[in-house]
Amino acid sequence: MDSLFGPPIDLAGLPNFARVESRPRRTVFCGRVSTKDQQNPSSSIPRQVSLAAQRLKDGEEFAGHFWDVESGMLPPESRGLGPQEMYDALHVKTPRDGGLQDLLDRAELLGVTHVLAERSDRVARAMLTSLTVEHELQKIGVEVVYANEPIGGTESGRLRTRRYGQVEAELFRTAMLEMSMGGQVQHAINGWNHGIPPYPYIAVVDKDAPPPAPGRFGEARPKKKLVPHADPRRFDASRELCRLRREEHLKAADIIAILSADRSRYPIEGRWTHNRVEGLIANPKLTGYQVYNRKASRTGRPGFSRWNPISQWVWSPRPAHDAVVSLEEWKAAQEVTAGLRANAPDGPLLRIRAAAGRRGLTVTVVEKTGSHTRYRIGGRLVVMPDPVPDAVAQQVIEELENAA
């Protein structure tokens, strides 16, 4: 910016009167739309280009176009990960040389001097992210310009306008998250399912759900509720693995051995794994209640979800589908899991299973009564009180060890 207090005579002819740029001006466009469903990229991106182009110099054109179809709540490293085929299918006339992270990675190599965007929330809705992007580009001599900022005036005025815009973007982001969370909470309270149905269930469209609001933009996803899987063995398998944890205090490896030994009784696609077993035991949806907010998926680390405290979970006020276990049984299983993770002492039945395992045998439940349980240990049937006393457990273990 030239000084407002010039020399008393004309010095424009001197060699150092005006600053000569050490590198030619090279300007690129930066843009974003939230999702292909909530906004129309084929109209929004060209509109953003048109507005940003008003800040180009006379005769100048964009040297590149970097834009994403991603949420502005994501950090740069999580943006632009969609395949090129997805972008081609959007039929956006504006060319795409990459996304925001590509711009940050290649700006210096491409000799970029200016980045133009319609406004700051097209970079990111989180103020820290947009500030970080500006800072990283500034370090390599790249100026970020937003088309909605005033031309001329003081630097403090321009900066005030920019920061106000970034604050508004973050406030909008927070308000959207609050409204979205409120909608998801009501979704769960009404008994509708989030995510992939647990092993013993399938999700079906709730025909009694109210129709979507008229004039809603984007595709409305149907409300779904959980119903038992067509294969009733899945309910039985889920009930049994929960019982093995709750009553026999078995670890996942022991439960997997029991389930895998009788695949006709405990069917599974692929194989039983530690994550499948522990995930089912910990899943509160097996109680018949619909539960939401067990995980925080937006942690800033791609592919990483953090478990929320149980106090933050959202439960439907009443059962929403058929239960595999009762609430009391589910709670007891979680207490046993906590004890196992704290290296609690092994129970009598667990010692029997360990002794059988050393001989290559598995222990499975055949029949339960009110006070006793019949087990199959290899080819033998053994009836033991429930719970198993230490003396009985020791007798069975000695018989296993002395067997020929």
Q: What is the mean pLDDT of the chain?
A: 85
DSSP secondary structure of 110-158? HT--EEEESSGGGT-SSHHHHHHHHHHHHHTT-EEEETTSPSSS-HHHH
Percent of the chain surpassing pLDDT 70: 91
> How many residues comprise the chain?
404
What's the whole-model pTM score?
0.57
Tell me what the mean pLDDT of segment 305-321 comes to. Answer: 89
Structural Rg of the chain based on CA atoms: 32
What does the pLDDT read at residue 212? 67
313: left (phi over 0), alpha (psi -120 to 50) or beta: beta
- Domains with residue ranges and CATH for the chain: 27-174 (3.40.50.1390), 190-344 (3.90.1750.20), 346-404 (no CATH)
The model's pLDDT over 181-223, given as tens digits with 9 standing for 90+, comes to 788 888 888 889 988 999 999 999 988 877 766 554 455 678 9
Partners of residue 41 on adjacent β-strands: none
- Helix, strand, or coil (residue 43): helix
Please report, in angstroms and rounded to a whole number, the separation of the first and last CA atoms in the chain. 96
What does the pLDDT read at residue 10? 85
By mean pLDDT, which of 16-30, 334-348, 372-386 is the weakest? 334-348
What does the pLDDT read at residue 300? 47
The model's pLDDT over 287-307, given as tens digits with 9 standing for 90+, comes to 999 999 988 765 445 555 678
Give the β-pairing of 295-296 and 201-205: unpaired
Q: d(Cα 171, Cα 23) in Å, to the nearest integer? A: 38
What does the pLDDT read at residue 301? 52
H or E element that contains 212:
none
By mean pLDDT, which of 27-41, 122-136, 327-341 is the weakest? 27-41
User: Based on the number of CB atoms within 10 Å of its own CB, is 107 exposed (0-12), middle (13-18) or buried (19 or more)?
Assistant: buried
The model's confidence at residue 115, banded by pLDDT at 50, 70 and 90, is: very high
Partners of residue 381 on adjacent β-strands: 376
Tell me what the mean pLDDT of segment 162-176 comes to. Answer: 80
